[in-house]
Structure 1
């Protein structure tokens, strides 16, 4: 049985950024009259506008991809226009991967040159591998070489991405040193090298909760300009982020819009922020924090799951009973310790909060 070939991005469950926002990128390119670095599809100003959102002179609305301090995005974009690589650092759920993908899409028009870091990532994933059938049949040669995403980005003058850099073993990480310092990738088996052409750069992401797993060597860290992505500064900002992403994901999954869902989104965000911060929003009551991160990304997942429940097993309106189980799953990672933290929070905070009786009952029902 052969799988049908689909057009790029056609009917994809999660299109790449350059496909999902192709019209916005096209409009930006048409309106962009500022200087562009070599092989960049857009100027740095247009790249920042693509991420932060805005309205063009012709009335085209560019939707925000990242809600946060403008200076962070400007520093990240400027870094990519220099000879230094970019390291996006932050706790889980601070949109590191999201920002990385959209930066690559806006700069190069291609966010797919990706290396996913894990404990088992081999050196070949960053350098190159071999087609062993060709190698055995014809011996070493360029036709037998399988370029990594990093090698392809170097040769084509594009942006490569390395996700979860600190998950990769230290000796494999250090294969990037020559790439980032000398802008060349030696191929000793062939006595050749690949030199990076103008436009090449690299974006890496790292979770600062992984410190001590595979720390970057000082030599490698010097090759990066590090930008720390913070958690949303205010509850309103986080509610806005969650609402936007849930709306995008809901449309992709053909879920109906939740006209009264904003109240539940705000409730989920409030619960996550209070448990994360260890204190209620009014500053009056200290609460224990669970072992999980309770990130914005997890809030998006909880609300999206609740929206699916409301659509398929309810009346389409997002209610407390639709999000209660998702919140429980996000908060209680350690069945012993986290369950105590959650039950104390329910009784001391949620139970006493005006207008939260339905939410309290729904949470108690799934917790019991």
Structure 2
């Protein structure tokens, strides 16, 4: 395979999926590439058989998500930004359907044609409506092949575009009036959608569409040790994807995790507006590792603070005052955090 920046889940974990298929003796739902038990093992890990853990969170949530996808309703994963909703969606799709590229990215500009079908206008004008002139959407292809389709950030789509899914999900049929035909979904078809809680109110889903989904809330990781393990594994994977190897400073990662956990639990006027997600922590540690690798310097607390500033502040300058308050009230009292205090003071307390 030609080198790419990011492999899809079914490409990255092809060997594990092959192993699971060879070992899988459990009952498979119609149209599924693996049994429900094997899908769970793929996502939650099975160290005894060389299957890595890919989702660090509530295993019971994974089981409920798998069960949801066996039924008539779709699966809606909601949560704060950076809680691995998209990753979980991709992993489920890779394991159940064998590939995860049937994807619609929801935006304010998403159209009905992107969800249903469109036309090759050159062929349409020369020969009229025909199957040859029809351009299939990911939903169309998923129905035709009996696969899962992913719809990211569904609440970013206008409500009238969201509601195009209602008949598709309830009737499992896509009508093409121009050709006088209807495509009926094959076994295995279903929809996984994601939505950020911070987007609530942007384009709220209609009650009719909500009834077509089972909702699962993907929480922020509360276990600091688990979050540290996830951050280190994700950064090491990113480095390996780029053909690099570099040791990570475990104490520095632990420091960042503790800072994030304390800031997440700040309340009232001192609560940061920035998203303190595990994904943001991965970005910070990855940036520190790259700085250390290419400048040939050890990872340092000063680097960590610099990357925190660039990642967290963004367009929210009021967060600087809140970080300064955290430094002055919490960090100043910790003798072992002097480097963090000194580096943070230069950025946030001037």
TM-score when normalising by structure 1: 0.91
Tell me the secondary structure at the aligned position of residue 351 of structure 1.
helix
Relative contact order, higher structure (CA 8 A, sep 6+): 2
Return the alpha-carbon distance in structure 1 between the equivalents of residues 6 and 243 of structure 2: 12
For the structure 1 residues 73 and 196, does the alpha-carbon distance in structure 2 shift closer, same or farther, using more than 3 Å as the test?
A: same
Measured after TM superposition, the shift of residue 96 of structure 1 is 0.2
RMSD: 1.5
Distance in 2 (alpha carbons) for counterparts of 1:345 and 1:253: 36
State whether residues 275 and 287 of structure 1, in contact with CA within 8 Å, keep that contact through their aligned partners in structure 2. no
**Which of 21, 25, 29 matches 2:17?**
25
What are the within-5 Å matches in structure 2 for residues 67-106 of structure 1?
Answer: 67-106=56-95
Partner of 1:304: 286
Richer in helix (by share)? 2
1:310-329 residue pairs with structure 2 within 5 A?
Answer: 310-315=292-297, 317-329=298-310
- Structure 1 unaligned residues grouped into runs of 5+: 1-6, 280-285
In the TM superposition, structure 1's runs of 4+ consecutive aligned residues that sit over 6 Å from their partners are: none
SS at match of 2:25: coil
- Is the contact between residue 273 and residue 316 of structure 2 (CA under 8 Å) also seen in structure 1? no
- In structure 2, the residue matched to 1:202 is 191
Instruction: Using the TM superposition, give the Cα deviation of residue 334 of structure 1 relative to its aligned residue in structure 2, in angstroms.
Output: 4.4
Match of 2:277 among 282, 292, 295: 295
Match of 1:16 in 2: 8
Q: Which residue of 2 aligns with 1:3?
A: none
The aligned counterpart of 2:45 is 53
Structure 2 contact 301–339 (Cα < 8 Å) conserved: yes
Query: d(CA) in 1 for partners of 2:97 and 2:281?
Result: 31
Is contact 2:274-2:316 (8 Å) kept? no
Tell me which residue corresponds to 1:269. Answer: 257
What is residue 224 of structure 1 aligned with on the other side? 213
> Which residue, out of 246, 266, 282, partners 1:278?
266
How far did residue 330 of structure 1 move?
Answer: 2.8
Q: Shift in Å at residue 238 of structure 1?
A: 1.4
Q: C-alpha distance in 1, partners of 2:97/2:299?
A: 39
Give 1:283's aligned residue.
none
Return the alpha-carbon distance in structure 2 between the equivalents of residues 90 and 335 of structure 1. Answer: 21
- Residue 156 to residue 129, structure 1, CA distance change in 2 (3 Å): same
**Deviations, residues 327-354 of structure 1 (Å, cap 9, x unaligned):** 1123324454111111111222222223
Q: Deviations over 1:122-170 (max 9, x none)?
A: 1111111111111112111111110000110000000100000111100
Which residue is equivalent to 1:152? 141
